[in-house]
Amino acid sequence: MTKDTKNKSIGWLKGVLSNQSQSDQSSKEELVTTAIFEEQSSNMEEPEQSDIPSNKQLFLKDNQDKVSLDLIVSVENMLSDRQLLLYKNKALEDQLYNANETISRLKHDIAKKEQLLQDKNQEISVLESNLTNKQMSYDQLLEDYKDFQYTSKQEFDKISSQLEKEIIKYNKLNEKSTYTEYQNMLKIKELEEKISHLEVENQKYIEQYQRILGEKNQLIETINDFTERMSFSFSPKKTASTTLSE
């Protein structure tokens, strides 16, 4: 029971006692003082179920006047209220203990979850770092690819330009070669015709040479025959010596 309740009860009891005569006042104040003293002393210990009958038997209602009965009833009500408040207080203490246990368990769970969250945050930080490194690597590879693509395009353009020049040069050389082949063909044909003509003329010259050679041999033979006959005509001996020498 709280101090305010006790003060109110004492004030009410003193108000009731003030209406009694001087002879009854000393005995009733002693009774009230005894009840309050027992009430305050009972606050120092836990009440038990066996105390309730003894408190009820604290005051006997027989041969009491109305004021005393009212006082006894008020004190009994105060004690009953106090007992009820103690039971409620005990129940609230049990609830508080259970609530503290629940709070402790929840704090433990929260600590575990915070540790788990911290571990997950560390893992996320590691993953973010790895992702950042991979992103940087990807960006570097992308830059390298762009540089390679640009360099390759320049090389391709350069090779394409050089190839076009070589194709133009090849076409010119091909045209020149075709023209040269055509000229050579004409020259060969002309030479073949000239060779054929020379072969014909050579054949004519050979035939003419053979004819002239035949005529020459015939003429030599005729001259030799004439010389022989002339030699026999002038000198038979000389002719004979000449014949031997030949």
Q: Does the residue 8 lie in any domain?
A: yes
Question: 3-class secondary structure for the chain?
Answer: CCHHHHHHHHHHHHHHHHCCCHHHHHHHHHHHHHHHHHHHHHCCCCCCCCHHHHHHCCCCCCCCCHHHHHHHHHHHHHHHHHHHHHHHHHHHHHHHHHHHHHHHHHHHHHHHHHHHHHHHHHHHHHHHHHHHHHHHHHHHHHHHHHHHHHHHHHHHHHHHHHHHHHHHHHHHHHHHHHHHHHHHHHHHHHHHHHHHHHHHHHHHHHHHHHHHHHHHHHHHHHHHHHHHHHHHHHCHHHHHHHHHHC
Residues 171-218 pLDDT 10s = 999 999 999 999 999 999 989 898 988 888 888 888 888 989 888 888
The percentage of the chain sitting over the pLDDT mark of 70, rounded to a whole number, equals: 69
Q: Does the residue 64 lie in any domain?
A: yes
Q: Does the residue 71 lie in any domain?
A: yes
Q: Does the residue 35 lie in any domain?
A: yes
Q: Does the residue 45 lie in any domain?
A: yes
More confident call, 233 vs 135:
135
Average pLDDT over residues 105-119: 93
Q: Which pLDDT score is estimated for 227?
A: 83
Strongest mean pLDDT among 17-31, 70-84, 98-112, 221-235: 98-112
Q: Does the residue 76 lie in any domain?
A: yes
Please tell me the pTM assigned to this model.
Answer: 0.35
Q: Does the residue 174 lie in any domain?
A: no
Q: Does the residue 77 lie in any domain?
A: yes
> Which domain does 80 fall in, by range?
3-110
Q: Which pLDDT score is estimated for 62?
A: 60
